[in-house]
Chains A and B, each alone.
Chain A
Amino acid sequence: MAGASASAASHSLAPWGHRVSSWLDYTINGLIVGNVYALVAVGLALIFGVSRLINFAQGSIYLVGAYIGWVAVVQLHTPLPLTIIVVAVAAAVVGLIIERFGLRPLQNSVRIAPLLATIGISFVLDQLVMLTFSPNPRALPSQLPDVRFQVGGGTIGPLDLLIAGVGLTSALLLFAFLRYSKLGWAVRATAQDRDAAMQMGVDVNRVNQAVFGIAAALGGVSGMLVGMYYNQIDTAMSLQATLKGVVAEVVGGAGNVPGAVIGSLLLGLVESYGVAVFGTSYRNLFAFLLLVVVLVLRPNGLFASARQAPPEPLTGTFIAPSRPVRIPRWALAVAAGGFAVLPFFPVSFYVLQTLINAWLLGMLALSLTLVAGTIGQVSLGHAALLAIGAYSSALLSLTFSVPVGLAIIGGGLMSAALGTALISPSFRLRGHYVSIATLAIGEIVSLVILNWESVTRGPIGISGIPPLSLFGYDLISPPSIYWFSFAVMVVLALLQARLLTSHLGRSFRAIRDDDVAARAYGLSLNRYKSLAFIFGGFAAGVSGGIAAHLYSYINHETFNTQQSILALTVVILGGLGNVVGAILGSVALVGLPEVFRIAAEYRILIYGIVLLLLVRFRPQGLLGTI
Chain B
Amino acid sequence: MSNIDRRTLVKGSLAAMMAGAAFSRAAFAQSSEPILLGVSGPLTGPNAQYGMQWKQGFDLALDEIMAAGGINGRKLAYQFEDSQSDPRQSVAIAQKFVSDPRIVMELGDFSSPASMAASPIYQRGGLVQFGFTNSHPDFTKGGDFMWSTSVSQADEQPLLAAYAVKRLGLKKLAVLHLNTDWGRTSRDYFIKAAKEYGAEIAVTEGYIAEERDFRSTLVRVRDASPDGLILISYYSDGALIARQARQVGLKQVICAASSVYSPKFIELGGEAVEDVHLGTRYFPEDPRPEVKKFIAGFKAKYGGQEPDAFNAYSYDAMHMAAAVVKIGGSDRRAIRDAFAKVKDVSSVIFGSATFDVESRRVKGAMNAELVVRKGQFALWDGKPT
Contacts and interface: CB of A to CB of B under 8 A. Distances in A.
A249 to B, nearest CB: 19
Contacts of B169: none
A310 interface: no
B46 A236 contact: yes
Contacts of A52: none
A584 B98 CA distance: 27
Size bracket, chain A contacts: 35 or more
Interface in B57-116: 80-82, 84, 86-89, 91-92, 94-96, 98-100, 111-113, 116
Given A349-B99, A591-B13, A617 B5 contact: yes
A600 B82 contact: yes
B248 A153 contact: yes
Given A3-B203, A3-B224, A281-B208, A348 B82 contact: no
Nearest to B207: A280
A236 B210 contact: yes
Contacts of B215: 29, 32-33, 154, 272
B2 interface: yes
Given A281-B208, A601-B44, A137 B113 contact: no
A552 B116 contact: yes
Contacts of A590: 88
A322 interface: no
B18 interface: yes
Contacts of B176: 280
Contacts of B183: 459
Nearest to A157: B247
Contacts of A350: 20-21, 24, 92, 95-96, 99-100
The dominant DSSP class at the A interface is helix
A123 to B, nearest CB: 10
B113 A553 contact: yes
A153 B216 contact: no
A172 to B, nearest CB: 25
Interface in B272-329: none
A150 B121 CA distance: 57
Interface string B205-220: 1111011111111011
A218 B141 CA distance: 51
A488 interface: no
Q: Which of B16, B44, B49 has the most CB of A within 10 A?
A: B44
A347 B113 contact: no
Contacts of A262: none
A165 interface: no
Nearest to B240: A230
Interface stretch (B29-37, B262-270, B355-363): B262-270
A548 B120 CA distance: 12
Given A553-B112, A588-B10, A601 B248 contact: no
A501 B120 CA distance: 41
A321 interface: no
Nearest to B239: A232
Contacts of B14: 591
A104 interface: no
Contact of A551 (B43, B95, B116, B180): B116
Given A351-B21, A601-B43, A460 B181 contact: yes
B220 A4 contact: yes
B349 to A, nearest CB: 21
B17 A595 contact: yes
Give the interface centre of B119, B125, B142, B181 by most chain A CB atoms within 10 Å.
B181
A143 interface: no
B2 A617 contact: yes
A162 to B, nearest CB: 15
A19 interface: yes
Interface stretch (A127-135, A421-429, A519-527): A127-135
A276 B211 CA distance: 16
B117 interface: yes
Interface stretch (A110-118, A352-360, A370-378): A352-360
Contacts of B167: none
B220 A136 contact: no
Interface in B1-27: 1-2, 5-6, 9-10, 13-14, 16-18, 20-21, 24-25
Given A135-B51, A279-B220, A350-B100, 15 more contacts: A7-B223, A135-B52, A154-B248, A230-B212, A232-B268, A281-B206, A348-B25, A354-B17, A360-B88, A552-B119, A554-B113, A592-B13, A594-B92, A603-B82, A618-B5
16 contacts: A4-B224, A7-B223, A25-B216, A231-B243, A232-B268, A240-B212, A279-B220, A280-B217, A281-B205, A351-B21, A357-B91, A461-B112, A464-B138, A562-B86, A591-B13, A595-B16
